[in-house]
Structure 1
């Protein structure tokens, strides 16, 4: 990462934590890690420091505009700028309801709104507040957004999640245009072994059956790993990707490469 300063949202666990640690391993000079949970943010910051990089743990509620603004300001002031923004935080409907997963015709309106606020509005607001710092960066500024294959195709019983991730894909394109020469790309993970995926499986009537259903279309016969996704995210943030912007990259074990289902 050539001495760059990073800000990673949703870094308390899963893909976000893996990205923050991978940034440190690749030579970032500092990484601000944010999460709604103070303890998990601090754990990630410790892992970043153990990898030899300065870190700052920041608690942020991504449904609160002022909290987002404060997060960005604190990160920029702590490390004297922001070179890389990773909008990683994301939730599914099951984060806001104990009821079984619901379809588009039965999802509660308040659940739809909550998923939208975290998955899409917060990405826009974080980008908006970070833009002045990114524009001033002399070190190849870049934004990397976490989208999903569910933003490209249907996904059972998660209508708000899929629609908001489709929005992230399009927001990535317009951000690349509006903030150029700041680069902006996104990646679209498939089924990755994260707490988010585990919560989704747990909310299904038959957890094992749901996992089999979601991984059956993959050519790689397993769940993806956060560390594998982190390597793609850090490549997109690095100067090795200096000619790449406004694009989406699928990392899904081959699920979208065909129309088949493994036996």
Structure 2
């Protein structure tokens, strides 16, 4: 018996990093996983895992989300993981950067929740898990202006949904990681003028002495997606190796 036996889990950004690790962890616990991403090639790597179905989905496109919703009769857990990390202060952030980050990091969650929440209300049960960050209202982080702003908004969205729909059997929490060693992070490090120094800077701020793995964050998603966390809603759950201390 798995901790998520028979439950339907829908994830965004499942092709790599935390999303991929979470999709695999869910499947190993017996869940029926619908893994989505815009990257079809990488997404196909998940097809070898029993219990995982894949769907190409751009979570910033309302029509694509609504078409997917028509295919899904029941959804037990919605995991909104898609996001983008912009590097820079407010002076480095052009309006197009601001709009892109807010669209992907916040509006996509609005669209996904607004589309799938009615199904959960009809079922009288549902669980929404959003990806936020320690770089948000939790902690000020240099060169993360629009990213931190968007992730603070995710915390606000999470608490609002939790408060509004608790009596309809809906839970909503968000995961707030620190620095996680993912392909996305490695790409951002390589894009810096001095990648070696950038890596040292990332490691220097980790109080525990290392970055998190995507699998460690996935374990937290499993807990929040299971009945073990049935008494939790409206929480920002920090997993940052002590960075926010």
Question: TM above 0.5, one fold?
Answer: yes
Name the CA distance, whole Å, in 1 between partners of 2:70 and 2:44. Answer: 19
**Alignment-derived partner of residue 98 in structure 1:** none
What is the aligned partner in structure 2 of residue 66 from structure 1? 63
> Aligned partners of 2:203 and 2:177: how far apart in 1?
12
Counting only pairs closer than 5 Å after superposition, residues 214-229 of structure 1 correspond to structure 2 as 214-229=202-217
CA positional deviation for 1:203: 2.4
Counterpart Cα distance in 2 of 1:112 and 1:171: 18
Q: CA deviation at 1:47?
A: 4.2
Listed one character per residue, the Cα deviations across residues 169-222 of structure 1 (whole Å, up to 9, x for unaligned) are 111100111222210001101110112211221222222222222232323211
In structure 2, the CA distance between the partners of 1:167 and 1:48, relative to structure 1 (3 Å rule), is: farther
The partner residue of 2:25 within 17, 22, 27 is: 22
Using the alignment, how far apart are the partners of 2:145 and 2:69 within structure 1? Answer: 30
Is 1:188 aligned to 2:191, yes or no?
no
**The one of 194, 202, 212 aligned to 1:206:** 194
TM-score scaled by length of structure 2: 0.92
In the alignment, is the contact (CA less than 8 A) between 1:31 and 1:48 conserved in 2? Answer: no
How far does the alpha carbon of each residue in 1:219-249 deviate from its partner, in whole angstroms, 9 at most, with x for none?
A: 3211110110001011011101000000011
Unpaired runs of 5+ residues, structure 1, are 94-100, 258-263
Distance 1:89 1:73 in 2: 21
Aligned ranges 1:1-263 → 2 under 5 Å:
1-28=4-31, 30-44=32-46, 46-49=47-50, 53=51, 55-74=52-71, 76=72, 80-93=73-86, 101-137=87-123, 140-151=125-136, 152-180=138-166, 181-257=169-245
2 CA distance for matches of 1:213 and 1:63? 32
What is the root-mean-square deviation of aligned Cα atoms in Å? 1.5
* Deviation digits for residues 73-105 of structure 1 (CA, Å, limit 9, x no counterpart): 33x1xxx31000000111123xxxxxxx43211
Scaled by the length of structure 1, the TM-score of the pair is 0.86
Q: CA deviation at 1:132?
A: 1.4
Number of aligned pairs?
Answer: 239
Q: Tell me how far apart the structure 1 counterparts of residues 102 and 58 of structure 2 sit (CA, whole Å).
A: 14
CA distance in 1, matches of 2:30, 2:231: 21
Structure 1: distance between partners of 2:205 and 2:143: 17
> C-alpha offsets along residues 83-136 of structure 1, whole Å, 9 cap, x if unaligned?
00000111123xxxxxxx432113121111111111000011101101012223
Q: Which runs of 5+ in 2 are unaligned?
A: none
Tell me if the contact between 1:219 and 1:255 (Cα under 8 Å) persists in the aligned partners: yes
* Contact 1:14–1:226 (8 Å) recurs in 2: yes
